[in-house]
């Protein structure tokens, strides 16, 4: 009160600070987590009005049941070859992650991020898109490149920032880019890709094109202003875009409650903006594929954008700069009720009679050997600590079509200072 006196009949104000349920050393119990049975979720027509399907943002689309059979209306009914391709791709992503993580620990690169446990949210989703559709990834969607056939050695060159790095050492490791595969450059700034994806989708629609956009971010990024600006534009202009939120429960050291998960689901943000929203078992590759396929058809037929929350779990550290044992229970990964996407798809294929444990073991070794070969080849082009891999003058190039006067002056000054400090170095090309 203005006079310094409080009203005696009111309790003092208090602030709620989100607190994770489990800390290091705690026993983990997910029994109160609402996981619906597979196959029970209705599949609305793609032209259904968002307000008529609001219950979808609180439900969870699941296809693989406890016996690893595909059930229910969301079963995409993929053939064996497609499913085996999906399994091989996810297995290759995981083998790549494991090997490159070790390369960072050995000092061959400065940084790496794994997507262990989240492979389906990028691989299965990408396989449900057209190859001409534009993907705007976050920094944990390396599976998109694997699904589209990007060479592993090129990825390792970028991670090592060596002389064959197509991005010339200008990007942090794992921030890939591929114009040819319609893979927008990964950005370290959270959620900048969201308004970019919506803007790209709006441009595609304004030109009368048939290409749609898909964008990914983590659940923590939904607290960024860029996320909400993108949602507004997507809703207002009916942009043909799929907006994926990877709810893996944790940011680098804070749990999803800081982004709002204690109040409602992340899919519920769609209802607030009046667009279609789906909540999906992110560790069920068939559910991820089916939901993306549904959203893609909706976007391609001018029915508007879709927000998909992929309910999953970050099974490993946020990055090589993170130690999850400092802030979460080690039992969380073991007790996660939705299991592992690779294991679940493997058992589904075994249940179908087209795969075996022995074939999976052979596949895993093949994936490891392929990564070893890619790393060995890329290392010939240089690794961290081998000195300057790119020509000195490249730091001034590729920003403007014609170099402006002020950059020309800066280049000349830099050349002079370099000659003074390192007189024995080769003169840069002009």
Active centre residues (catalytic): 314, 318, 327
String of DSSP letters for 11-42: PPP-------S--TT-----TTS--PPTT-S-
- 369 Cβ neighbours under 8 A, 6+ residues apart: none
| 385 alpha-carbon distance from chain centroid | 29
Distances from the Cα of 34 to the Cα of 27, 30, 69, 95, 385, angstroms:
19, 9, 21, 32, 49
Q: Which residue has the tokens 């091989």?
A: 88
Beta bridge partners of 276: 306
Query: Which three-class secondary structure state does DSSP give residue 314?
Result: coil
CA-CA distance, 339 to 83, in Å (whole number)? 18
Strands (E), 31-170: 134-136
From the number of C-beta atoms within 10 Å of its C-beta (0-12, 13-18, 19+), residue 107 rates as: exposed
CA-CA distance, 347 to 151, in Å (whole number)? 28
Q: How far apart are the first and last CA of the chain?
A: 70
Pairing of strands 134-136, 213-218: parallel
Q: Which residue has the tokens 């998909």?
A: 308
CA-CA distance, 257 to 16, in Å (whole number)? 11
Q: Which residue has the tokens 């950005």?
A: 187
Q: Which residue has the tokens 């709002």?
A: 260
Interhelix angle for 119-127 vs 285-300, to 10°?
A: 40
């Amino acid at each position: 009160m203005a006079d310094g006196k409080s009203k005696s009949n009111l309790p003092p104000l208090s602030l709620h600070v989100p607190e994770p349920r489990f800390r290091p050393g705690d026993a983990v119990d997910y029994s109160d987590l609402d996981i619906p049975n597979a196959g029970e979720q209705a599949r609305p027509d793609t032209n259904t009005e968002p307000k008529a399907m609001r219950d979808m943002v609180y439900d969870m689309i699941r296809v693989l049941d406890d016996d690893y059979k595909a059930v229910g209306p969301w079963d995409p009914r993929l053939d064996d070859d497609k499913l085996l391709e999906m399994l091989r791709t996810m297995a290759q992503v995981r083998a790549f992650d494991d090997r490159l993580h070790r390369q960072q620990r050995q000092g061959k690169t400065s940084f790496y991020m794994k997507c262990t446990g989240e492979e389906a949210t990028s691989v299965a989703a990408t396989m449900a898109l057209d190859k001409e559709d534009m993907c705007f990834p976050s920094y944990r969607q390396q599976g998109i490149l694997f699904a589209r056939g990007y060479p592993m050695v090129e990825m390792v060159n970028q991670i090592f920032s060596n002389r064959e790095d197509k991005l010339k050492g200008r990007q942090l490791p794992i921030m890939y880019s591929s114009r040819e595969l319609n893979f927008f450059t990964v950005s370290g700034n959270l959620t900048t890709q969201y308004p970019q994806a919506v803007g790209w989708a709006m441009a595609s629609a304004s030109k009368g094109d048939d290409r749609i956009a898909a964008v990914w971010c983590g659940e923590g990024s939904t607290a960024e202003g860029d996320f909400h600006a993108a949602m507004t534009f997507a809703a207002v202009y009916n942009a043909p875009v799929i907006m994926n939120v990877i709810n893996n429960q944790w940011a680098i050291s804070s749990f999803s409650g800081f982004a709002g998960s204690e109040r409602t689901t992340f899919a519920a943000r769609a209802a607030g903006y009046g667009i279609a929203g789906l909540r999906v078992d992110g560790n069920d590759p068939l559910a991820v594929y089916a939901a993306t396929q549904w959203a893609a058809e909706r976007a391609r037929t001018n029915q508007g954008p879709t927000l998909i929350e992929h309910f999953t779990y970050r099974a490993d550290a946020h990055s090589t700069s993170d130690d999850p044992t400092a802030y979460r229970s080690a039992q969380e990964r073991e007790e996660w009720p939705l299991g592992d996407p690779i294991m679940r798809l493997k058992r589904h294929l075994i249940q179908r009679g087209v795969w075996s444990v022995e074939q999976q073991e052979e596949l895993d070794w093949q994936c490891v050997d392929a990564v070893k070969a890619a790393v060995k080849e890329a290392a010939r082009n240089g690794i961290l600590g081998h000195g300057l891999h790119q020509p000195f003058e490249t730091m001034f190039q590729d920003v403007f079509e014609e170099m402006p006067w002020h950059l020309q002056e800066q280049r000349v000054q830099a050349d002079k200072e370099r000659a003074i400090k390192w007189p024995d170095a080769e003169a840069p090309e002009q």
